[in-house]
Amino acid sequence: MDFRQHTPYALREPQSEYEFQLYSDGAYFKQCQLGGWGFAIYNKTGQLIDSLSGVQISHSSLEMELIAAIKALQWQLQQHPDSPIALFTDAQILLEGLFDKYPKWQENNWHSANGNPVVYAELWQQLYSLAQNAPVDFYWIKGHTANKQNQLADQLARENILKSQISS
């Protein structure tokens, strides 16, 4: 068992109980330069209450992971701004960027340790701002396992890309 799956990442004191659990995921198909995002919303009893997803021209899976988390937090702040949520992602890079690297990037005027501009700086900044304004704890969950909530988020992201290709 990986302890990171049970450790909350939070910009404030972690919550003890969540009104909603959101599972977000992004997908990217390099051959067609399309990305999809999706997230599934579960209530505190674990019942699926809604899901949202979309597709857009993209350049990487990281971009789509960021957009999926942003869309999930936007939903939370629009629909239930005071309700504590747990946001689950299988993108370790998202959590590392948001909780470990973000302060360093700010100090270095949005340049990474090697001096290059931070890729998707605007998305990182948007995600950080949303996370500061939402009662949210982030959790890493191992992707592509038997977790049906994560599988649904992944399916939502991928289906949008496939539908877009069929209609083209």
* Residue-by-residue pLDDT tens, the chain, 168 positions: 344 555 677 666 666 689 999 999 999 999 999 999 999 999 999 999 999 999 999 999 999 999 999 999 999 999 999 999 999 999 999 999 999 999 999 999 999 999 999 999 999 999 999 999 999 999 999 887 778 999 999 999 999 898 877 665
| Residue 67 identity (one-letter amino acid) | I
Helix (H) or strand (E) holding 149: helix 148-167
Quote the pLDDT of residue 4.
Answer: 56
Q: How distant, in Å, are the alpha carbons of 62, 65, 86, 92, 113 from that of 140? A: 15, 12, 10, 6, 24
Quote the pLDDT of residue 160.
Answer: 85
Quote the pLDDT of residue 14.
Answer: 60
Quote the pLDDT of residue 3.
Answer: 43
Distance CA 156, CA 152 (A): 6
Q: How distant, in Å, are the alpha carbons of 51, 58, 115, 161, 164 from that of 139? A: 19, 25, 30, 26, 30
Quote the pLDDT of residue 72.
Answer: 98
Give the list of residues 6+ apart from residue 48 with CB closer than 8 angstroms, or none. 40, 41, 42, 152
- The candidate with the shortest Cα–Cα distance to 120, out of 160, 68, 60, is 60
pTM attached to this predicted model: 0.91
Judged by DSSP in three states, 39 sits in strand
Domains of the chain as residue ranges with CATH: 3-68+83-167 (3.30.420.10)
Quote the pLDDT of residue 1.
Answer: 38
Please give the radius of gyration of the chain, using alpha carbons only, rounded to the nearest integer. Answer: 16
Quote the pLDDT of residue 17.
Answer: 85
Taken in order 55, 128, 153, 22, the sign of the CA dihedral is: negative
